[in-house]
Every structure is written in C-alpha cells, then in structure tokens.
Amino acid sequence: MKTRLTEMFGIETPIICGGMMRVGTAELAAAASNAGALGVMTALTCPTPEELELEIEKCKSLTSKPFAVNLTVGVVSTEISYDDYVDVICRSGVKIVETAGRSPEPFMEVFNAHGIKVIHKCVAVRHALKAERVGVAAVSIDGFECAGHPGEEDVTGLVLIPAAAQRLKIPVVASGGLADGRGLAAALALGADGINMGTRFMVTQEAPIHHNIKQKIVEMDETQTSLIFRSFRNTARVYDNEVAQKVAEIEKQGGDFGQVHALVSGKNQDIVWTTGDIDAGMVTVGMCGGLINDIPTCAELVSNIVAEAEEVIDQRLGSMTAA
C-alpha cells in the first residue's frame, strides 16, 4: 500500500507503532519496522540520554529498516534535560522523530539541521495547523477514543480525521480507536495517509509487558476504559481497574493531583507490566481494546491488517460501486 506516508518515510505499509512510555523499546520498534510498519522507540523510557544512545544502537542492530524515536515534552513531573536527549537523537543518525506533549517548535531548527523529519501528535486541528506552520513533516491526529491523553474537547476520530485532512497540506496520520484493517481502510477513506496504533501493538508477542495484561486487553470490551484527570484538565484514558476507580473517586470529592500521584506513578505502572497484576497501577489503553482478539507477532499483525484493508477496499467497497 502506497501513500504519502510510506513514500516520505520509506516504509512498506502506512502503519506506525506509536511511541509508548515503558513499552516502546528497541525490540518492539525493530519488530514493527521489520514487519513493514514504522516502529517507534520512546526516548524517555530510557532514564538517561546515555541509555537512550545505547537503546538506539540496539535498535539499529535489530533492524536495517527505518524507525523513529518518540520525544514527549512537558508531561512528566521530573526535571528532564530535553536538549540532551535531542542531542543524542541527532548524533545517532535517526531520521524520524515523533513528538508529543508541547509544541516541537523549540527543537525544529536542530532537527532540520540534521535532516530529521518530525511527526507531531495533536488532539485538535488548531494544534495540527500550528505544527504544520513550524515545519513538521506530518501530524498524528488523536481522536477521543485514543489511549493516553485525548485532550479536553472530546472530538472522535470520525470527525477529527477528515477535519484535519481537509485543512492540512502535510500528511495526516489517524490515531485512536484503530486496531485492524477495517480501521486502516476507514482512515484512508477519511483522508488520512496512514494510521498510528499503540494499544494494538501492546498486544503483540514482542511487546515488553506481562502476558496477563495482554490477555486482559483481549478479554475487554469497548466499555472498559475510564477517563481520569478530567478535573485537572489533563484527561487520560486508561483501563477501568481499581486504580482508575480510586482516582475517579478522589477527583469526585475535589481532591488534588497530589492525592492521586502515588496511585498513578510510573513505579506502579512498571509493577503492572512486570507482574501482570492489572490492579497494581494505571494501565493506559484505548477503546480499541474491544476490537482486539489475539496476541500475534508484529509481522502477523501488520500483514493481517494490510490484507484486511485491501479486502475491504477492493471487495466490500468495490462491489458496492461495481456496474
């Protein structure tokens, strides 16, 4: 399948394995890239820039295909020297960066100087237009269904994707609520040049999280996510577990973020990923968990999605317009 996305980044399919904190390792990124998608490592999964440098080298040893590094800015509470991480990325020879959180504008000059193409994740069309103005190569537009932070405007992908596509000149990547070939076909029909999937790639054999968590997502339906942090104007979509319910109750009672911080800490999320205890911490997952029914390899996943999308486009939709 050829789109502006595949042509721009030199990938075989218009599919991105989006950057995921503590999940976007070299192994997962390489597996996604080897499958023909664009794998994305997550810079801040590495506690130091020096460890990121080693992780990038590991990814290079595992794939000869393009991969990206995610840099999410301004959404963690600890002090981070983003310039040091940017320096490592630029020196590494990586040519694609996925940015999220705050605007990538402060880093665009140095990224451009190193020939790095930037994909910026946005949750609103106005943010996407700003990203286009500062020179990003593509935007990933996140609908309300997505895992993580969908913003505060609650616009679903069915509206947000075409709204972005009709106003932007650069490629648009659809994100949120996508897990199969039907979603890829729909995103292309809405004007996107490809799709970005996080939750779906979490439930692959190569994803570095406990099998029990993957199985819980296989078993979930589309109603088993919660929106937390709404009262803090930092809404997050997560699996509806005991932690999410405790946070929601604290918010309902007017509590502040300090009262929930320990519950949703990265330390507790690491416990979830390593032990398989679904109630040990916050579990970031999208509504598309209700569409996930198996735990394939990345190669199987990408192949199946492309085959299903082609079948939808050629057979189901094609038959509707046949003379």
pLDDT digits (tens, 9 = 90+) for 151-180: 999 999 999 999 999 999 999 999 999 999
Residue 187 shares a structural domain with residue 279: no
E strand residue ranges, 210-257: 225-228, 236-239
The whole-number average pLDDT for the span 201-211 is 98
User: What is the band of 77 on the pLDDT scale with cuts at 50, 70, 90?
Assistant: low
What confidence score (pLDDT) does residue 320 get?
Answer: 86
The whole-number average pLDDT for the span 80-95 is 96
Residue 134 shares a structural domain with residue 183: yes
Show the domain range for 117. Answer: 4-208+294-321
Residue 161 shares a structural domain with residue 284: no
pLDDT digits (tens, 9 = 90+) for 271-288: 999 999 999 999 999 999
The 3-state DSSP class for residue 177 equals: coil
Residue 176 shares a structural domain with residue 215: no
The whole-number average pLDDT for the span 138-144 is 97
The whole-number average pLDDT for the span 297-314 is 97
The whole-number average pLDDT for the span 45-70 is 97
Cβ count within 10 A of residue 10: 11
Residue 57 shares a structural domain with residue 132: yes
Residue 129 shares a structural domain with residue 145: yes
Residue 115 shares a structural domain with residue 8: yes
Residue 121 shares a structural domain with residue 250: no
- Residue 147 in this model has a pLDDT that exceeds 80: yes
Residue pair 140/119 in contact (Cβ under 8 Å)? The answer is yes
Residue pair 297/291 in contact (Cβ under 8 Å)? The answer is no
Cα 250 to Cα 227, 232, 259, 279, 314, distances in angstroms:
13, 12, 8, 17, 50
User: What is the band of 317 on the pLDDT scale with cuts at 50, 70, 90?
Assistant: confident
User: What is the band of 228 on the pLDDT scale with cuts at 50, 70, 90?
Assistant: very high
Cα 56 to Cα 27, 112, 285, distances in angstroms:
10, 20, 26
Return the CATH number at 123: 3.20.20.70
